[in-house]
Structure formats: C-alpha cells, structure tokens
Amino acid sequence: MSPEAGIRTSDPREPLLYHFCRLQVPAVRLAFNIFQNHLQRTFELYLQKNTAATKAGYLDALYAVDWYLCCGCLEGQERAWERLFATRTGRTDCLLIDALRARAVRLYPRDEEKQESAVGEFWSHLIIDETPGSLPILARYDGQRPLAPWLIRVFQNWHLSQLRSRGDEQALPDEEIGLPLPQHEEDRWHDAFCEAARDWIGALNEEEILLLGLRIRYKLSQREVAKVFGIHEGNLARRTDKLQQHCLSEIGQRLEEQGWTGNDLNGFILTEMGSLLLDDPRLTAEHLASLLAERGKALPSA
C-alpha cells in the first residue's frame, strides 16, 4: 500500500511532491500524513505574509528539497540534521556551518570568544523557542526561498538584533555586514529573481544545461566535465565563465530595471541560483542522464 493510500489531499500534486522529496533525500523519512501536516502549516505561515496566495501558487514556488529537509530536522531526524550541517552555500560552495562562522567573524571582529559561541547559540535556537509562545527559527521557514541563504540571513539579523538591543551598534556597522537586501524588500526581490532566473534557464540549450548539471548537481571537477564534453579543460573554463557572466548580466539587468536597491547584486544572484537550478526540471538526474546517453557517455566513476 502506498504511503498516501486512504488519505485525502487538497492538491493532486502532493503525493508526487512527497515521492520526489523521498527520492531526493532518501535518508530522511517522513510519513505522508506528517508531510501533509507540515505542508499545510508552512502554507498557513506563508499566508500570513501573502494573504492573496493560493495553495497551487505556493506549491509552484516551493523549494521542495530544502523544505523537506527542514521538516525532517523539525521532526528530530538525525540524518536530516547531518545533511543540513553539510549543506553547501551557493556563493563560495563552502559548508553552511563554515559560512556562519565566517559571518560571525564579521559580526564580532574583535571578540574571538563570541565568534566561537555565536554559531552554537544560533543552532540551539533552531528548534527551541527563544521566548515563550514564539516559533523556533526552523519552524518559521516557509520553503519559498533556498534554505541555506535564508539561514545565513536569519543568523545575521538575529545577532544584529542582539547587538542593537545592547546599544553596541559600533561593532556591527550595516555597511560591513554585506546584506544583499533590505529586510523589508526580501520577498519582493526573491520573487523577482526567481522569475528572471527561470526565464534565463529556459533559454539555455541542452549543452549548457548539461554543463551546469554536471558541475552543480554532480559536483564534477572541471577536468571531469571537460572529459565528458571531449574538449580541453581551458576551453571548458572559458565556456563556464561565459555562461556565468551571461547569467549575471541577464538576471542582473532584469533586477536593475525593477529598481534593485541592494549592495551586492552578483553575490545575491549566485547565492540564490544554486538551489533554483537543482529544483529545475531540466536539471533532474533523469534528464541529465538522458543528455549523457545521447552522447554515449555516463558519469565518470568515482
């Protein structure tokens, strides 16, 4: 019997979404009814900020894998926490935990002791209420943006609030934080980015999709990808650079035309892009495998 047997769903895509998440994160196992409860909970959370939202629109924009991983953590699954700790951030491809530590250094530039404790304090509040009646940090995630950049931003704002509450603003000038967005405009720019990025991805040819998939989904080295394409590593590097510059130019122009007000436009695009690419149907494992098969190729063995 399937996990969803005998359970009514408000959207016929929910079982498909459930099985997609199970395939993408097989180590995290949620029962279908628990999955549905979290889906309804986070949709209602999203409705508090977007009262005109529909369930269909919410599902369309859901970062399903990140959302599922977050739910696994809230359910106390150790494998989910292990994967969250090992999540890589889009801009530098460093571990999430290392990205938070680097941000702590910028937040507390003259306090090594606080730098060490800052990340630990943050993790402790991910699933524990900071104040009675408040939601734990992870329970506030609605799945409508990539999880790792969202956590970095929450970490930053959380410590910023602590510093300001103590009147210690000099230790944390806003211009040194590198916030890509004013907080009150975050949702607007995330939505604008997603629309521009999906248009950009949709215009890519299959060879460009394969290059992105091998580098981003499979984490192949430049040398390994060059071998798949049968070209010199230097030629592949030039193709990759050209593709990245095209991405930054096209999406950046769209955001600037809409009045971008942040400081680090390229950094914002690269940070947000990773998770969106992994969720795109053209970069699924199945589609990439078919592209490789057309070339008579397979993934390089480990």
> Could you report the per-residue pLDDT of 208-226, keeping only the tens digit for each?
999 998 888 787 888 889 9
pLDDT for residue 18 is more than 90: yes
124-148 pLDDT, tens digit per residue, is 778 777 667 777 888 889 998 888 8
For the chain, the average pLDDT equals 79
Structure tokens at 8: 């009514």
- How many CA atoms are closer than 13 Å to the CA of 194, on its beta-carbon side? 18
- DSSP-derived secondary structure letter, 134: P
What's the pLDDT at 107? 72
- CA-CA distance, 180 to 49, in Å (whole number)? 21
In a domain, 194, yes or no: yes
What's the pLDDT at 94? 61
Same domain, 40 and 112: no
Same domain, 277 and 232: yes
In a domain, 8, yes or no: no
Domain end marker among 128, 153, 179: 179
- CA-CA distance, 43 to 58, in Å (whole number)? 7
What is the arithmetic mean of pLDDT over 199-206?
91
In a domain, 163, yes or no: yes
Q: Between these two residues, 290 and 109, which has the higher pLDDT value?
A: 290
Taking each helix axis as running N to C, give the angle between helix 265-279 and helix 64-74, from 0 to 180 degrees, rounded to the nearest 10. 80
71 to 133, 153, 280, 284: CA distances (angstroms)? 20, 19, 21, 22
Based on DSSP, count helices (H) and strands (E) in the chain, helices before strands: 15, 0
Q: Between these two residues, 1 and 59, which has the higher pLDDT value?
A: 59
Q: Between these two residues, 30 and 179, which has the higher pLDDT value?
A: 30
What's the pLDDT at 145? 84
- CA-CA distance, 246 to 230, in Å (whole number)? 23
Contacts of 223 (CB under 8 A, 6+ apart): 233
Same domain, 149 and 246: no
Same domain, 33 and 128: no
pLDDT for residue 184 is more than 70: no
Q: Model's pTM, two decimal places?
A: 0.53
In a domain, 286, yes or no: yes
pLDDT for residue 84 is more than 60: yes
Structure tokens at 290: 């078919």
In a domain, 280, yes or no: yes
In a domain, 2, yes or no: no
What is the arithmetic mean of pLDDT over 171-186?
36
The pLDDT confidence band at residue 92, using thresholds 50, 70 and 90, is: very low
263: three-class secondary structure by DSSP: coil
pLDDT for residue 203 is more than 80: yes
Instruction: Give me the sign of the Cα torsion angle 284, 285, 291, 294.
Output: negative
What's the pLDDT at 263? 66
Range of the domain at 272: 185-294
95: three-class secondary structure by DSSP: strand
Same domain, 290 and 191: yes
- CA-CA distance, 67 to 70, in Å (whole number)? 5
Same domain, 113 and 212: no
- CA-CA distance, 23 to 286, in Å (whole number)? 12
In a domain, 299, yes or no: no
Same domain, 199 and 282: yes
